[in-house]
Structure 1
Amino acid sequence: MHRLLPFILALGLFQACQNPATKSTESTTDINTFAYDYTQLKAHTPLILLEDGDHKVLLAEAYQGRVMTSTAAGMKGTSYGWINHDLISKGEYQPHMNAFGGEERFWLGPEGGQYGLYFKKGDPFDLVHWQTPGAIDTMTYPAVQKDKTQALFAKSFSIENYAGTRFDLKVERRIRLLSEKEASDLLQVPLNAVKWVGYESDNQLSNTGQEDWDKSKGVLSIWLLGMLKASPAQVVMLPYKAGGSAQVNDAYFGKIAADRLIKKDSVLFFKGDAKSRGKIGIPPAIVKPLAGSYDVEKGALTIVRFSYTGDTAYVNSMWEIQRYPYRGDVVNTYNDGPNDKGEQMGAFYELETSSPALVLKKGGAYRHVQQTFHFEGKASDLNVISKHVLGVELSQVPKF
């Protein structure tokens, strides 16, 4: 035994020296951190980093000026957006849609129907024929202005709907970090007890064509979608007007199981675990301009608020020839999961908002403004925010 002692001591010293380095490596490669996403993305596409202390937001021109992710706690903090690093690193475009990820991207509606943008004229409304237009999937939106806390992206292009109507348009999209005073004033609640980050997305769509847009030929809407990281404890919360549960649209991709969706008198809860594909919509008759999600295990609350002025005509994105093409939804949530082929885009859920159906005159324009907030902290402190803004006690959130 005494002959082995020097070897054992040496081995112990070697392992002691290796452990700090191992921990250091793990901390810098944690896939849940903002630093990981920033490093991975930077290797494949130019980025714009907005920052104010620990509040950081990451933008990408190549992906339509989308918000890829954000954090409330600096480079080592939690990264909120779901990003498809595998797809991005391949550098190859995919059929149907390039699910690059990103916690807030710019799209146009409607998706399906006789005025839809995602199906060619005469094609059936199924997954085989569904195709995201390149202008909102693979086209770059250059940054025409930028500084430390904001960036403005602009792009002009043409697009055609299922009915053959051509639209000439310009998109201007400004993303800016919100100060603590701005965020507190918008939410009407103090934020000093929690870690938080907030940013505003101001999106303007202009009719640059030679004709006025006409409902009888189809019109467009601004559609903002956020891919956020799913988890077993993630629950989406969509508040709506009291007594409105029967008007919730939960028929997009078939019936949603009762153990995944609970509709109360003025709020619904929807499981955001990326284990079952489903989509839900809130129509204008019952909408409140808010959406949220809560992960009790991570102590994380997300809130989205947006501009809404009482419009009632919203484009219908259902995959069918529609009887009522302007009875669409204002707010949507989507949970990813295996499709009919057993394939899946990724481990994310979505919070989505839309502008009204835009009947723009020649030279006319419309702005759809949205703010996204993420909060981390004690359940009691997060509850103050949720109760005040969403009207939801976090103790009410079911554990599916």
Structure 2
Amino acid sequence: MKTYCLLILLGMMACQPSKPTQSMIQPENSFAYDYELLKNDPTTVLLSQGDQQVLVVGKYQARVMTSSSMGREGFSYGWINHELIQSGKLGPHMNAFGGEERFWLGPEGGQYSVYFKAGDPFTFEHWQTPAIIDTETYPLVKSDGQKALFHKDFEIENYSGTKFKLALDREIKLLSQEEAEKYLNVSLQGLSWVGYQTDNTLKNTGADWNKSTGVLSIWLLGMMKASEQNTILIPYQKGKEAAINDAYFGKIPADRLIKKDGMLYFKADANSRGKLGIPPQALVPLAASYDATNHILTILQFDYHGEKEYVNSMWEIQEKPYQGDALNAYNDGKNDTGTQMGKFYELESSSPAIALAQGQSLRHVQRTFHLEGMEAQLNQVCQQLLGIQLSDLPWK
């Protein structure tokens, strides 16, 4: 009888897809591998509670470089450019150090851009990420092991010659299980998970802003590891498909982007450069991705304040500079110079475009969650949050 029961149990286990265990994780995909690269930098801050780890580096603009739900030997969720960091060299356009959440400023393109100089064409050759969000260090104010606060004062000028004077406070905080379950409204019991929140406040310390000469927005972007079986999942308001921008770098092919029943399925394998944007009128303030190779469900939540104006980041002189996106997703691939930044995809959220008076502040909060477990468990979470089955994903 015991043998019979054991055979049944083994059969059931064989039919159930399992999550990757620590022993199955390739060393270069482990948190320990990334931690070894960055641990000796004096600006590195490790946040931890049990096996939940979040690695933040002030040298790279207080960005969350990566995180783990299973300690040092667990999967490292952020994409990190080891070769560039080890070289110690800086390059043109953007230093793609990686990191699963970085602070940037919008807009990227247009007459109020802070990435192009006045009169330059909007091409990759002339695109340049400002030093304040590319190479400058953000000083640590305080940290208690579960949260860290950074502060930076700076000035920046846009394409139209408008100068801005600013102060930034950026806090990164690990979330407790109680907090995570409250925000997600799902049970995390039986799953390996990590969740953190970044609270970003941008204060205008200079002259009043005016939309006729340009304003700035908070833009948070996360580089995650791509895989052949990885799908970005973005819910949208049904009937608003036409408002979705899927032509930032040329139209995304139909075999890489599916719009169906209020859900976008976007292939995130880093084999074809493409970007899409969701404007406020089509937005559901949630994004996710599922890596079927590694059984990782990633969830992004962010502040949304209703149908306000958002900066337009299209690479052109714009007729409507404040009809931009609240949410973006990006899949890397070769750009128009034939080069590629790396094997990553991005989930991105933005704050509204607000004309701040001197002394006023703009705040944007974003939460990132990574969940690992049996596919049946992750499917339950996916159904509750997104209303879809993981078995229905096109790239598995």
Letter in 2 for 1:31: E
Question: Is contact 2:104–2:221 with CA below 8 Å preserved after alignment?
Answer: yes
Q: Give the alignment of 1:147-296 within 5 angstroms.
A: 147-209=144-206, 211-296=207-292
Structure 2 Cα separation of the partners of residues 27 and 89 of structure 1: 26
Preserved contact between residue 29 and residue 36 of structure 1 (Cα < 8 Å): no
Q: Secondary structure at the match of 1:215?
A: coil
Output aligned runs, 1:385-396, within 5 Å: 385-396=381-392
- CA distance in 1 between counterparts of 2:25 and 2:144 reads 27
Per the alignment, residue 304 of structure 1 pairs with: 300
Q: Please state how far the C-alpha of 1:28 moved relative to its aligned partner.
A: 10
Question: Per the alignment, in what secondary structure is the counterpart of residue 200 of structure 2?
Answer: strand
1:233 and 1:212 map into 2 onto residues whose CA distance is: 48
SS of residue paired to 2:281: coil
Query: TM-score, normalised to structure 1's length?
Result: 0.91
**Distance in structure 1 (CA, Å) of the matches to 2:389 and 2:105:** 34
Aligned match of 1:367 = 363
User: Residues of 2 paired with 1:182 and 1:27: CA distance?
Assistant: 30
Instruction: Report the alpha carbon displacement of residue 361 of structure 1 after superposing the two structures with TM.
Output: 1.1
Please list, as runs of the form range in 1=range in 2, the aligned pairs for 1:1-400 lying within 5 A after superposition: 30-43=27-40, 46-209=43-206, 211-399=207-395
Structure-2 separation of matches of 1:306 and 1:127: 29
Q: Which amino acid aligns with 2:393?
A: V
How far apart are 1:27 and its partner, in Å? 8.9
Counterpart of 2:174, as a letter, is: L
Q: Give the CA deviation at 1:193.
A: 2.0
- Alignment correspondent of 1:18: none
The Cα of 1:392 is off from its aligned counterpart by 2.6
Q: Cα offset for 1:45?
A: 5.8
| 8 A Cα contact 2:227 2:293, kept in partner | no
The 2-side partners of 1:132 and 1:338 are apart by 18
Q: Which residue of 1 aligns with 2:20?
A: none
Q: Which amino acid letter does the alignment assign opposite residue 270 of structure 1?
A: F
**Which residue type is aligned with residue 313 of structure 1?**
E
* Aligned residue pair count: 374
| 261-270 or 321-330: bigger deviation | 261-270
Over residues 90-129 of structure 1, what are the superposed CA-to-partner deviations in whole Å (9 max), with x where a residue is unaligned?
1111101000000000000000100001000011100111
Displacement of 1:393 after TM fit?
Answer: 2.2
Aligned counterpart, 1:15: none
Deviation per CA, 1:118-156, whole angstroms, max 9, x where unpaired?
000011100111000001100100110111100001000
Q: Is the 8 A contact 2:147 2:172 kept in 1?
A: yes
Assess, with a 3 A threshold, how the Cα gap between structure 1 residues 379 and 29 changes in structure 2: closer, same or farther: closer
Q: Indicate the structure (1 or 2) with the bigger Cα radius of gyration.
A: 1
Counterpart contact for 1:245–1:265, Cα < 8 Å: no
- After the TM superposition, which of the residue ranges 56-65 and 375-384 deviates more from structure 2? 375-384
- Equivalent residue for 2:19? none
Provide structure 1 residue ranges, at least 5 long, that are not aligned to the other structure. Answer: 1-25
Q: Is the 8 A contact 1:375 1:382 kept in 2?
A: yes
The residue identity in structure 2 corresponding to 1:94 is: G
Q: Which amino acid aligns with 2:358?
A: K
Q: Which runs of 5+ in 2 are unaligned?
A: 1-22
Q: How much does 1:370 deviate?
A: 0.5
- 1-side partners of 2:395 and 2:214: how far apart? 42
